Amino acid sequence: MSSVLEGVSRLDRRLDRTLDRANSDIVLIVDDVPDNLSVLHDALDESGYTVLVATSGEAALQRALQALPDIVLLDAMMPGMDGFEVAKRLKATAETAHIPIIFMTGLTETEYLVAALEAGGVDYVTKPIKPKEVMARMGVHLQGARRARQEARQAGQARNALDAFGYASITVRMGGAADGRLIWQTPLARDLLMRYYGTSAPQTPEPVLNWLRRHLAQAERQIEPPRLAVEFGPRRLTFRLHQETGDGDGGGDWLIVMREISDDAVVEAMSLSFKLTAREAEVLYWVVKGKTNRDIGDILGSSPATVKKHLERVYAKLGVETRTAAAGMAMNRIKQLHPQFEG
């Protein structure tokens, strides 16, 4: 068994480098019994697999997140965190949710086997472990995993390309144990969701989830729903819905395309055009957007009285006397410089 543990140490060091997925499937074995690890490790290693091992539930979660194995062989009964809990956590984490899990169990009662499948397992083998049987079961599920990885890679390349054009995308899973979870996102989407909502995968922001559920509750789901928009200062984030896959009753994985629209350039243009300070330009921007002094104060973190003073200076610089006249003059200038602006 010492040779196996020494191998684990070497493999841990290799995790910082790219694992050779093109020529070898990566298997994570999770078992607290050294003899079980040794038998499986040697058989899989001789068959050309790259083998990682973990002797506890906590170590399994860490190693799975580090290495993203192609398949997990998971002991059901372990001290501390058992295999059922490990499986649930793997399936609840966006990065590892796709990995097929085969349970290894000495418990053959129906209730335990059902519990294994309900926890996220795709299959199970009973102890004592027979390596040939394990590899036969693995082969079936690895074929499906390879196809899923290829499809996800192709889809991911296309979606990541959208980031370069300012479009971000996420996939939200509806229905089943992962209902409402964010299971995929582009790098730009991750940054936008953190900035606007302070959330990260697998959590879908509540307003976005409510918007999606309202759409799914509609009878005419083939009609694209109104876009969701959220404002963050002079920036706003819009969400547009596309169905990627579905099961016909509102379930499945839903692709949502996001785009951030920034009016920072509009604020800067007003500042230069009317010789306003940065804060005066911001106040005028929100006047154009129809906000009251109280609203503007809340947005800018100042009092309505301070907003009123800024606005009085804006009136003087524009040569107008009313809010309506200031907004009209600003809108005319904005339309000349930024025709796409929405007031």
CATH of domain 164-262: 3.30.450.20
What is the predicted pLDDT for the residue at 105? Answer: 85
Distances from the Cα of 204 to the Cα of 93, 180, 211, 246, angstroms: 12, 7, 11, 18
Instruction: Decide: residue 75, CB within 10 A, 0-12 exposed, 13-18 middle, 19+ buried.
Output: buried
> Which residue ranges does the chain devote to CATH 3.40.50.2300?
2-153
pLDDT of residue 306: 93
Residue 10's pLDDT is: 47
Where are the domain boundaries for CATH 3.30.450.20 in the chain? 164-262
Q: What CATH number does the domain located at 264-337 have? A: 1.10.10.10
> What is the pLDDT, as a whole number, of residue 61?
94
Q: Tell me what pLDDT residue 16 has.
A: 38
> Which of the listed CATH numbers 3.40.50.2300, 3.30.750.24, 3.40.50.1820, 3.40.1400.10 matches domain 2-153?
3.40.50.2300
- In the chain, CATH 1.10.10.10 covers 264-337
pLDDT tens for 122-170 read: 888 888 888 899 999 898 888 876 776 666 666 555 555 555 556 788 8
Check residue 299 and give its pLDDT.
84
- Element counts in the chain: helices (H) and strands (E): 13, 10
* Beta-carbon contacts of residue 221 (< 8 Å; ≥ 6 apart): 215, 243, 250
**With a cut of 70, which residues of the chain have pLDDT below it?**
1-23, 108-109, 145, 148-166, 218-225, 243-251, 338-343
